[in-house]
Amino acid sequence: MDFELTREQQQVQARAREFAQRRVAPIAREADEHGVFPLHLVREMGECGFLAGPIEPSYGGAGMDYVSFALVYEELGRADSSVRGFLAVHAGLVSLCIRDWGTEEQKRRYLPRLAAGERIGCYCLTEPEAGSDVGSIATTVREDGDDFVLSGEKIWITNGNIADVAVVFATRDRAARHRGLSAFIVETDTPGFHRQKMPGKELGHRASDHARILLDGCRVPRTAALGSPGEGFKVAMSALDHGRLGVAAGAVGVAQACLDACVDFTRRRRQFGQRIADFEMVQATLADMACSLEAARLLVYRAAWLKDRGLPTTRETSMAKLFATESALRAASEAVLLHGGRGYSSEYPVERYYRDIKGLQIYEGTSHIQRIIIARELVGRGS
């Protein structure tokens, strides 16, 4: 086994780190406090080749391997989870979904603009009564002449208010559950596509754009269908495999940021006449944090490595997502504790890491769902 990154992967990592620390990190606190996504970064990410990393150059992408793309997610997550979350939806759930399931016409029409940041994508799956249980989707689709007509409600749609393109899931027959689902590419200026900001204030990812979307007789042409009729569940699950890799890698970035902050703080903070880094209990905490971080990183890189080889990755991606988010959650909790009163204030970034990481446990399937996926991959389904 070779654990060394290739020269090309190291170059991508360095470019992503430089962008994240120079362009993203300095504005992360302000964006979080004001709850406004830094839209000016979208075109910049496109120029860097981040918006559609694994997409083929013929469609405007950078042609990255998945390990390289995981490195991009990690570095962005280390700086700001809201920006990393934007990318996971825009690229992982939308662009890669269109690449995997779209017609040649759809790929030519949408992928280059998404890759350049000329268009923004959102992924409309979650509903008030359908999150983990995708088969309970209530948004309906009916045929009317040469068109499809969509009606229903979607919630917690990241990028929803700023998106130009939406991948929307709807059912032809609610009784058929998973087998009744179909997917569609919907342009958000289509009549009947209405959106508004989600009510309340998020615990974390406060700079992300989260929308409630109402589809009121939203009419789209037959060419908007993504995949074949009834394949919506397969489309959704394959997209979530891409998105989960982004969440897992982002969680590694959060854990790294927590460790960096704690090492720096414990070296500088003095109590009882010495650095708190010299207390054995503090050292034990830092050691555990570092070990969990490296284990999570290896799980993420392995899942990405398997994707690069065209092998099935559902179990490995779920394992990476589960372990990385849970590890980062512990790291963020310990980071706040080690910072004491300072960690309880937005003056230090560990407070934001603590709020943000909880969302990563939920997005693209909760930790409970990841455990179910992993277990079913191990033992199968009962008869």
Q: How far apart are CA 282 and CA 273, in angstroms?
A: 15
Contact 116, 46 (CB under 8 A): yes
Handedness of CA 317, 202, 20, 283 (dihedral sign): negative
DSSP code of residue 130:
B
Show the tokens assigned to 311. Answer: 């092998």
Residues ≥6 apart with Cβ < 8 Å to 292? 255, 327, 330, 331
Q: Are strands 165-171 and 121-124 parallel, antiparallel or unpaired?
A: parallel
User: Residue 127, by phi and psi: left (phi above 0), alpha (psi -120 to 50) or beta?
Assistant: beta
- Hey, is 136 helix, strand or coil? helix
Residues ≥6 apart with Cβ < 8 Å to 18? none
Which helix (H) or strand (E) segment holds residue 36: the answer is none
Q: How far apart are CA 11 and CA 65, in angstroms?
A: 13
Q: Which residues are catalytic?
A: 364
Closest CA to 254 of 85, 78, 83: 78
Phi, psi of 150 (to 5 degrees): -105, 135
Contact 179, 198 (CB under 8 A): no
Q: State the Cα torsion 245-249-250-255 to the nearest 10°.
A: 140
Closest CA to 211 of 119, 121, 151, 93: 121
Closest CA to 325 of 286, 287, 299: 299
How many Cα atoms sit within 13 Å of 252 on the Cβ side? 23
